[in-house]
C-alpha cells in the first residue's frame, strides 16, 4: 500500500522547495572577495564599510603583497577584484586571460615617505639622515614582491645611496610589514607608504618626510575585475563606487593621490 500522506508531502516539497531556496538566496547579502595590496589596509576598511551600507554588498578582503596576490589569482584563488599597488601585477592577470579588462584601471597613485620613531636618534629627520654614518638599519619592502619596495630601491639608487646602504637594509615582505619593522624599532628608518605614515598610530609615534617624487617612478595603482562564470555585477558596482569623487577624496586624505 502507498502512504498517500507521505507522497503528498514529498510532492509539495518538490514543488515549493526551489522557490523557498530562491527566496533565501535573494535575501542573503551579496559578497565581494577582494585581493588588496598591503598599502590599502589603512584606508580600505572604512571605504568597504560605506560600500556595504550603500549597496548591501559585504566585502571579504585579503591584504598581501601585490606579487603574492597575483600568484594566488593565477593559481585559481576565488577573488572578484584585484587592487594592486602597481600596474604590472594586474597585467599578469590580464595576460593569463583571467581579467575582464584589457588594461589595468588606475584607481590611485601612491607616495613613498621616509619614517622614523619620535623617540629615535633622528629628531631632525630628512633625506640626509640616510647618509648619516650613525645610521644602523633601514627597512624597505622586498623589491621583487612589493611595488613600494621597487620604488624604494629606485629612489635609493637615484640618490646614490643604495650601494652604501645595502648592508643596513632590513627587507620586509610587503609595505605593511615594513611599517611594523620601523615602528617596533627593529629598524631605525623606514621607506614606507604615505598611507601607513598617516595612520593615527604612526602619526602619534613617529614623523616622516616625503621622498622626492622625481627619485622614483610613479606608483600608479591598478585594478582588474577577475572573470567569473556566475557574473561580476558586485565587482562593477564596487569599481564605480571607488571611482566616485567622494571616495577619491577619501583615498587622498588617507595618502593615495587621485588617479590621473
Mean of per-residue pLDDT scores for the chain: 89
Answer whether 80's CB lies under 8 Å from 232's CB.
Answer: yes
Give residue-wise pLDDT tens across range 167-178: 999 999 999 999
What local confidence, expressed as pLDDT, does residue 15 receive?
41
Integer distance in angstroms from the first to the last C-alpha of the chain? 77
Answer whether 63's CB lies under 8 Å from 89's CB.
Answer: no
Under the banding of pLDDT at 50, 70 and 90, the label for residue 11 is very low
Q: What is the CATH number of domain 111-215?
A: 3.40.190.10
Specify the domain boundaries for CATH 3.40.190.10 within the chain: 30-109+218-258, 111-215
Give residue-wise pLDDT tens across range 187-228: 999 999 999 999 999 999 999 999 999 999 999 999 999 998
What local confidence, expressed as pLDDT, does residue 20 receive?
35
pTM of the model: 0.84
Q: How far apart are CA 198 and CA 107, in angstroms?
A: 19
What local confidence, expressed as pLDDT, does residue 155 receive?
98
Answer whether 114's CB lies under 8 Å from 70's CB.
Answer: no
Across the range 116-144, mean pLDDT stands at 96
Across the range 116-125, mean pLDDT stands at 95
What local confidence, expressed as pLDDT, does residue 77 receive?
96
What local confidence, expressed as pLDDT, does residue 6 receive?
43
Under the banding of pLDDT at 50, 70 and 90, the label for residue 19 is very low
Q: How far apart are CA 69 and CA 89, in angstroms?
A: 9
Strand order across the 169-172 sheet: 169-172, 138-141, 189-193, 112-117, 206-210
Domain spanning 30-109+218-258: which CATH class is it, in words?
Answer: alpha beta
Amino acid at each position: 500500500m502507498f502512504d498517500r500522506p507521505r507522497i503528498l508531502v514529498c510532492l509539495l516539497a518538490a514543488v515549493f522547495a526551489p522557490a523557498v531556496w530562491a527566496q533565501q538566496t535573494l535575501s542573503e547579502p551579496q559578497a565581494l572577495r577582494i585581493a588588496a595590496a598591503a598599502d590599502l589596509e589603512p584606508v580600505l576598511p572604512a571605504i568597504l564599510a560605506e560600500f556595504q551600507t550603500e549597496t548591501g554588498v559585504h566585502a571579504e578582503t585579503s591584504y598581501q603583497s601585490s606579487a603574492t596576490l597575483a600568484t594566488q589569482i593565477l593559481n585559481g584563488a576565488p577573488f572578484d577584484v584585484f587592487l594592486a599597488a602597481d600596474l604590472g601585477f594586474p597585467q599578469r592577470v590580464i595576460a593569463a586571460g583571467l581579467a575582464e579588462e584589457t588594461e589595468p584601471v588606475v584607481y590611485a597613485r601612491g607616495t613613498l615617505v621616509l619614517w622614523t620613531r619620535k623617540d629615535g636618534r633622528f629628531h631632525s629627520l630628512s633625506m640626509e639622515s640616510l647618509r648619516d654614518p650613525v645610521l644602523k638599519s633601514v627597512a624597505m619592502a622586498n623589491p621583487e614582491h612589493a611595488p613600494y619596495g621597487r620604488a624604494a630601491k629606485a629612489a635609493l639608487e637615484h640618490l646614490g645611496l643604495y650601494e652604501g646602504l645595502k648592508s643596513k637594509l632590513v627587507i620586509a615582505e610587503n609595505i605593511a610589514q615594513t611599517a611594523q619593522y620601523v615602528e617596533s624599532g627593529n629598524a631605525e628608518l623606514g621607506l614606507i607608504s604615505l598611507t601607513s605614515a598617516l595612520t593615527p598610530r604612526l602619526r602619534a609615534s613617529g614623523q616622516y618626510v616625503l621622498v622626492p617624487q622625481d627619485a622614483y617612478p610613479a606608483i600608479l595603482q591598478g585594478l582588474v575585475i577577475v572573470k567569473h562564470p556566475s557574473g561580476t555585477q558586485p565587482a562593477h558596482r564596487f569599481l564605480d563606487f571607488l571611482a566616485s569623487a567622494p571616495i577619491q577624496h577619501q583615498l587622498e586624505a588617507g595618502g593615495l593621490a587621485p588617479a590621473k
